[in-house]
Each structure stands twice: as C-alpha cells, then as structure tokens.
Amino acid sequence: MNEMENILVVNNLQTTFKTDAGDIRAVDGVSFTVPKGKTIGIVGESGSGKSITSLTILRLLASNGRVNGGEVLFKGKDLLKLPEKAMREIRGNQISMIFQEPMTSLNPVYTVGQQIGETIQIHKKVGKKEAIQQSIEMLKLVGIPSPEKRVKQYPHELSGGMRQRVMIAMALACDPEILIADEPTTALDVTIQAQILELIKDLQNRLGMSVIMITHDLGVVAETCDYVAVMYAGQVVEYSDVRSLFKNPKHPYTLGLLNSLPRHDIEQEKLIPIKGMVPSPHEMPVGCRFAPRCPVATELCHNKMPQLLNTNDSNAEQIRCWMFSDEWDGDSEVTLYGEKRTIKG
C-alpha cells in the first residue's frame, strides 16, 4: 500500500493509566493505518482498549492517562509531538469525534446552535451570526427537520437519535478529514441505529472523509467498514480488510468472537463461546494475552508474546499469533471452535 494514501498511521501506541492499584497498560502496542476516504473499524470487547486508542489519537486522555510511546502520524506529522495549541487546531477541525452517549455528550445549558456554532467560530474564525447560519446548514445536512427551529432548542428537547445527529453536525461542521466515531449507535435503538449509520455512510461519500468506527458490534463492522483492527486486552490481534476478516478469520480470538455471536439472520444450532474471561489489566499474561482462553495455546504462547506480523497471504493483513509464524510449536492441524485448521508454519 502506498504510504501517501494513508491519512493516519498509528504505530506501536502505548497508553498507561495510573490507578491506586498500580499502572494499567490500557493500550499496549496498537498499530493500524487509515487509508484516505475509507472506514476502518476498531472492534473489541469492553476493556480491549479501543476507546482509549481513539482518545489517545486526539490526546483527550483523562489526567491520569499518559502516552508512553508510539506515534500517531496524521498526514506525516506526529500528533503526539505537537504543542497543545496546534493540537487544538486539529481537534474538531481536521479530526473530529462523536461519542457513545448522545444523551450526555451535549452541554445541557447551551442551545444546539450555540454548540455547533462554537466549533465553527473557533476553527473558521467567523462571527456569531454567520456561525449560527452555518449551524442551520449543518442541521439540514444531517437530516434534522425544521433546522431553523431546532437550532434554538436545548439538548433535552431532542430525542437520542436527534442528539446523535446534532453531534454529527458538530463534528462535520469544519469538514474534517477524519471522523472518529466511538460506539456512535450503541445507545440507540436499532431502527435509529440504521438511520445514523446510513447518515454517516452517506456523508462520508459526499464529503470524502475517512472514518474510524469504534464498536463492539460485528454487524456494524461488516456493514460499514473497509478495514478492521480486532483488539484484545490492549493490543491489535488481527488487522485485515473486512471481507477476509469475516470470510477467513485467522486469529483464534476473532474466530471465537464470530462463533459466540448469536445471529438473527441465520439459524444456529449452538453457540460456541470462548471459555474464561478477559484477563485483569493488573495481571496481564506474559505471553500471548489470549493464551489463557485459547483452545490451541502451546508452551510458546504462554511464555512469549507474539508480534503483530504480516501474513504470507497478503501484506495488508496482520496477525498477532504464533500459529502464523515459523516458530509455531504445536500440531500442524488443530481444531478451533469446531473448525479444522491446517497450520502452514
């Protein structure tokens, strides 16, 4: 893949949180790339570090969080090294973000227009009147009926779906190059989710931005993303294009996740869950973090952490699993969640 096509490159990101019980490495070596105009999904269960990754990119971590290493290259420049003022000019302008809870993500004491207008005023250096005018245009763009009326309303006067539309209007007001959507539809009902996802996709096509879609919902990933990074316990375990991820999942965790998912569209006999649970952030395994739950983990897996490496098939696909390395010390044929696999090794 040509470097120039990638608008954002995240390399070996490390984020730590100080807690009373010691430091937590919430993000530990996350790497992925965001091609221009494409949607990349970051999928994982709670505690996988997917939201922290997005907050680290925009440097919006809580005060007890710290970036310990890695780089976030936005059009070639490392965001982690920018002075705060330059970073502020990027936030909401070139990279903007929407959040999971539309109910609480808008300031209750300001009108919709004031809140969208604020972004416009900061970044476009226009007056208040012009900002409100542009806010109305944005509300129109995100499909809010009678925007002239809505612009004067307070968040509590809007439904959850409407509020998420307002959040999107605010995020897109300055025509960003990247939109980070952190679980944008998780708090919404499924018919409203469909509206919002369709809106994001439609706006992406019209405005040509890249989207980082952070979600736990594999259905949302399949529908909206071009590339996917699967995260587990603070690390990316698999990165590939969306089709190969669903058609030919490679990492045992990805496979396990797909097998535990109850589907509404097909009849399944029995779910095959992943045994055990996510390790505590205070007691991360020394080897592969998935090893304690993995059905085929070997000596090697338990003792040495695998790296995120390109697979032989394609260089756009990366896996963090010993099975795909020459060092693999297990059987050459394994059964994973009811599926037989031959390991090349």
Partner 1 sequence: MAKKELLKVEGLKQYFPIKGGFLGRTVNHVKALDGISFTVYEGETVSIVGESGCGKSTTGRAILRLEEPTEGSVTFQGTDLTKISTREMRKFRKDLQIIFQDPYASINPRQTVASLLNEAMHIQNVLPANERRARIEELLETVGLRPYQADRYPHEFSGGQRQRIGIARALSVDPKLIICDEAVSALDVSIQAQVLNLLEELQDEYGLTYLFISHDLGVVRHISDRIIVMYLGKIVEIADKTSLFENPQHPYTKALLSAIPVPDPDAVKNRIVLKGDVPSPIDPPAGCRFHTRCPFATDKCRTEEPLLRTTSAMKGEHEAACHYIEEIAAGTMIEK
Partner 2 sequence: MTKYIIRRLLQTIPVLLGVSILVFSLMFLIPGDPAQVMAGEGASAQTVENLREKLGLNDPAYVQYGRYLSSALQGDLGNSIRSGRPVMEEIQTRFWVTLEVAIYSTILAVFIGLIAGIISAVRHYTLTDVSIMIIALFGLSMPNFWLGLLLIQWFALGNLPFDIPFPEFLKMRPSGWGDTWRQMVLPVITLGTGGAAIIARMTRSSMLEVIGQDYIRTARAKGVSERVVIYRHALKNALIPVVTIIGLEFGGFLGGAVLTETIFAINGMGRLTIDAIRQRDFPVVQGTVLVISLLFVVVNLLVDISYKFLNKRIDLN
Interface contacts to partner 1, rule CB under 8 A: 45-46, 159, 161-162, 189-195, 197-198, 216-224, 242-243, 246-247, 256-265, 267-268, 270-275, 277-278
Cα four-point dihedral sign 190, 193, 197, 203: positive
Among 23, 45, 71, 101, binds partner 2 (CB under 8 A): 101
- Distance, CA of 151 to CA of 131 (rounded, Å): 11
Cβ 250 vs Cβ 264: under 8 Å: no
How does strand 309-310 pair with strand 318-319?
Answer: antiparallel
In the sheet with 77-78, reading across from the earlier edge strand, the strands are 22-35, 6-19, 65-74, 77-78
- The residue among 97 and 245 lying less far from partner 2, judged by its C-beta, is 97
CB of 128 to partner 2, least distance (A): 14
- The residue among 85 and 247 lying less far from partner 1, judged by its C-beta, is 247
- Distance, CA of 275 to CA of 292 (rounded, Å): 9
Does residue 74 belong to the site contacting partner 2 (CB under 8 A)?
no
- Distance, CA of 343 to CA of 255 (rounded, Å): 15
Binding to partner 2 by CB under 8 A, coded x per residue (else -) over 41-60, reads -----------------x-x
Does residue 239 belong to the site contacting partner 2 (CB under 8 A)?
no
- Distance, CA of 267 to CA of 262 (rounded, Å): 9
Q: Which does 194 bind (CB under 5 to 8 A by kind): partner 1, partner 2, none?
A: partner 1
Does residue 30 belong to the site contacting partner 2 (CB under 8 A)?
no
**What do you get for the CA distance between the two ends of the chain, in Å?**
25
- The residue among 196 and 236 lying less far from partner 1, judged by its C-beta, is 196
Does residue 170 belong to the site contacting partner 2 (CB under 8 A)?
yes
Question: Which residue ranges make up the site for partner 2 (CB under 8 A)?
Answer: 58, 60, 88-93, 96-97, 99, 101, 104-109, 118-119, 122-123, 154, 156, 167, 170
